[in-house]
Amino acid sequence: MFSYLRERFSSHLRERSRRRARLVSKDGRCNIEFGNVEQSRFVFLIDIWTTILDLRWRYKMTIFISAFLGSWFLFGLLWYVVAYIHKDLPEFNPSINHTPCVENINGLTSAFLFSLETQVTIGYGFRCVTEQCATAIFLLIFQSILGVIINSFMCGAILAKISRSKNRAKTITFSKNAVISKRGGKLCLLIRVANLRKSLLIGSHIYGKLLKTTITPEGETIILDQVNIEFVVDAGNENLFFISPLTIYHVIDKNSPFFHMAAETLLQQDFELVVFLDGTVEATSATCQVRTSYIPEEVLWGYRFAPIVSKTKEGKYRVDFQNFSKTVAVETPHCAFCLYNEKEAKAKEKKGYDNPGFVLSEVNETSDTKM
């Protein structure tokens, strides 16, 4: 029992040591950290709208509640100061003929309630501003204008946060693994992508970036060097009719960075394949981008995706997402170089070749038979 647990623990440690760092997670989040930024963090306040939208919900709701409570309490203090200066509070024992700036403000609590009623336009009718004090009238106007600005900004930020196209991107899903197999007589890297909504993405475009560490001829080491990866589908890689799951593929030819990889050496490679899908949301006309990534352990050589679309007896098309990431083993060349050599060998077998050094000479045959 102890040896079994020790073996499991050692295998877990080996797996963690082999775990690769990812720039882009499977759900599209970027794993990058900025350090020693010389600019002050106050520069983010210049673009306060984007800063608010990028905040997480817990921070956004904290700012939302703090903005309203802070403004109500601040103006509550100002209304209390106005009542105190004008001697409207009960401790000053105002006369019967005394007209206060604000009716029925008896302390800080009632001043806070009047501030709340003013800014959110509740208007209970119990507390109100009189024409006795110009300062109170100016403060009422100022709080009303500022309250509209705060309401517009905060409600607009929450509405924009809810309706961001980033949320639409969560209904676009990629297969867990990428596969390498033959397609149309060519060795291809295939990825499956699906739209979980019936609404389309207009003008969709799919492309990829291969991130790896390269060393230039000058000896410079470039971390996260980017190489373009062209993905296509049978109908083209632009303006996709993205109503059903699509299988996108990259042809591994002599210009592909996967050309010199083989099934035996794939896991020894150090790369990250990032796949992008850009499109316009049909409902809101907002653009969105979906991202995912694949490391060598998530690229299966010699597999293809299981069928996912079928037709029912009623004539409807049915998509079975249970088989979305399911793969099936198929016969596949162990490298692209071998596949192209095999094709060239078969092509040469069908052709005849003339030997230019061959010369046909005629031989005159003489009869040496004597009678």
Q: What is the pTM of this model?
A: 0.68
Give the C-alpha separation, 274 to 295, whole Å.
9
Model pLDDT for residues 72-113, shown as the tens digit of each residue: 999 999 999 999 999 989 888 888 888 888 888 889 999 999
Give the C-alpha separation, 78 to 73, whole Å.
9
Dig out the tokens for 197 from the structure. 């909504």
Work out the burial of residue 258: count CB atoms within 10 Å of its CB; fewer than 13 is exposed, 13-18 middle, 19 or more buried.
Answer: buried
The verdict on 285 and 251 lying in the same domain is yes
Confirm whether 75 is domain-assigned: yes
Q: Domain residues for 110?
A: 51-163
Q: What pLDDT does 98 receive?
A: 87
> Confidence class of residue 289 from pLDDT cuts 50, 70 and 90?
confident
The verdict on 139 and 157 lying in the same domain is yes
Q: What pLDDT does 191 receive?
A: 93
The verdict on 300 and 345 lying in the same domain is yes
Q: Residue 127's domain is classified under what CATH number?
A: 1.10.287.70
End position of a domain, from candidates 146, 163, 180? 163
Confirm whether 35 is domain-assigned: no
Q: Say if residues 63 and 52 touch (Cβ distance below 8 Å).
A: yes
The verdict on 333 and 202 lying in the same domain is yes
The verdict on 140 and 176 lying in the same domain is no
Give the C-alpha separation, 58 to 65, whole Å.
11
Dig out the tokens for 111 from the structure. 């001043």
The verdict on 202 and 136 lying in the same domain is no
Q: Which of 133, 134, 99, 102 is nearest to 118 (CA)?
A: 102
Radius of gyration of the chain (CA): 37
Alpha helices by DSSP H, the chain: 2-18, 48-54, 57-85, 108-119, 134-162, 165-168, 336-349
Number of domains in the chain: 2
129 pLDDT higher than 60 = yes
End position of a domain, from candidates 163, 181, 207? 163
> Confidence class of residue 179 from pLDDT cuts 50, 70 and 90?
very high
**Lowest mean pLDDT segment, chosen from 113-117, 128-132, 239-243:** 239-243
**Lowest mean pLDDT segment, chosen from 212-221, 269-278, 294-303:** 212-221
Model pLDDT for residues 235-260, shown as the tens digit of each residue: 555 567 777 888 888 999 888 888 88
Q: What pLDDT does 138 receive?
A: 93
Confirm whether 366 is domain-assigned: no
Average pLDDT of span 166-170: 76
The verdict on 122 and 252 lying in the same domain is no
371 pLDDT higher than 50 = no
Q: What pLDDT does 141 receive?
A: 93
| Largest CA-CA distance found in the chain, in angstroms, rounded | 170
144 pLDDT higher than 60 = yes
Tell me which residue has tokens 């993405």: 201
The verdict on 143 and 220 lying in the same domain is no
Do the strands 186-195 and 178-183 form a parallel or antiparallel pair, or are they unpaired? antiparallel
Q: Residue 185's domain is classified under what CATH number?
A: 2.60.40.1400
Do the strands 271-281 and 327-329 form a parallel or antiparallel pair, or are they unpaired? unpaired
Q: How does the average pLDDT of the chain come out, rounded? A: 81
Dig out the tokens for 249 from the structure. 């593929």
Model pLDDT for residues 181-205, shown as the tens digit of each residue: 988 888 999 999 988 887 778 878 8
Query: Virtual CA dihedral for 196, 243, 165, 59, nearest 10 degrees?
Result: 0
The verdict on 183 and 147 lying in the same domain is no
